[in-house]
Amino acid sequence: MQKELKKLPKHIAFIIDGNGRWAKSRGLTRSLGHKAGFSRLEKIIKECFYGYGIPIVSIYAFSTENWNRPEAEVNYLMDLFRKYLNKSFLKKYPEVRFNHMGDPNGLPDDIAKKAKNLMDATADRDKFTLNIGINYSGQDELVIAVNNILEEGITHVDRQVIADHLFTHGQPPVDLMIRTSGEQRLSNFMLWQVAYAEFYFPKCHWPAFNSRQLFKALEEYQNRDRRFGAIKEEK
Ligand code: IPE
Ligand code: IPE
Ligand code: MG
């Protein structure tokens, strides 16, 4: 695996788009697209952690808006989550802390429970963190944070207080956001955390996003001049 890149993101996020189109272009069902997308997901996550040593990976797997899809497709995706959020995660992803982003209340009970169990079982792991958005909405995340802040009796907030009440509390912001399939929008993902992220929009569909594509994204990141509003001193 390629490791010679100098500047790596501390936090990389993926909007894994294009499973359906990938399948359609091959004459397959959308479900098979999601299946292929999931096996790709496992490989890319492992490569980010164990290949490049990127400490935090965030994945948009299912949005609150995705409930509007046909029932059969939603059920298929839920079954994929059931399989994924299993005890086997503990062995498959050594040293990875699992963190569910999203409202557990809107999920089938067994999936919410599996996510919670994995979070508890990996709570002591501190080398890598995997955030997965399932029933996730960036706007809802902020609403939930504000309500929790009010319930705690806090009467004045600053950026830190808000950050501390998000699903990603304690984590640095997203450095690099990748959305496959050529769509150039956030679709309600991590609105707060991407405030100063670099964006990368490869044309390929998610199931075709491979090691080479990941390397290209990280290579492109090397050339980004992150100024954070400041200017460089002339020498
Ligand atoms: C992304 O692929 C996966 C999920 C939203 C769960 P899509 O299913 O959105 O694929 P397209 O955009 O229809 O091709
Ligand atoms: C965003 O993809 C959500 C996930 C990747 C889970 P969508 O395919 O649902 O987004 P839109 O509908 O193109 O904005
Ligand atoms: Mg899509």
Instruction: Read off the pLDDT of residues 4-48 as tens digits, 9 standing for 90 and up.
Output: 799 999 999 999 999 999 999 999 999 999 999 999 999 999 999
Unique residue bearing structure tokens 């670099």:
198
Residues classed as catalytic: 17, 66
Amino acid 115: pLDDT: 98
Q: Is residue 1 scored above 70 in pLDDT?
A: no
**Mean pLDDT throughout 217-232?**
95
Mean confidence (pLDDT) of the chain: 97
CA distances from 192 to 35, 160, 164 (A): 30, 12, 12
How does DSSP classify residue 211? H
For residue 218, the CA-to-ligand 3 centroid distance in Å is 23
Averaged pLDDT, 49-74: 98
CA distance 207 to 163: 32
90 CA to centre of ligand 1 in angstroms: 27
Q: Which three-class secondary structure state does DSSP give residue 18? A: coil
Residues forming beta bridges with residue 133, ordered by sequence position: 60, 101
**The ligand 1 atom nearest the CA atom of 22:** 14
Instruction: Identify the nearest ligand to the CA of 178 by its number.
Output: 2
Kindly report, residue by residue over 142-197, the tens digit of the pLDDT.
Answer: 999 999 999 999 999 999 999 999 999 999 999 999 999 999 999 999 999 999 99
Pocket of ligand 1 (CB under 6 A): 16-21, 37, 62, 66, 77, 181
Q: CB of 66 closer than 6 A to ligand 2?
A: yes
The pLDDT of residue 234 is above 90: no
**79 contacts: CB under 8 Å, gap ≥ 6:** none
User: Ligand 1: distance of its center to the CA of 30 in Å?
Assistant: 8
Closest approach atom of ligand 1 to CA 23: 14
Of the bound ligands, which one is closest to the alpha carbon of residue 179?
A: 2
Per DSSP, what are the bridge partners of residue 12? 57, 176
Look at residue 211 in the predicted model and tell me its pLDDT: 98
pLDDT over 90, % of the chain: 96
Is the full-model pTM beyond 0.75? yes
Helical residues (DSSP H) of 52-128, grouped into ranges: 71-84, 88-92, 109-121
pLDDT of residue 232: 79
Tell how strand 96-101 and strand 128-136 pair up. parallel
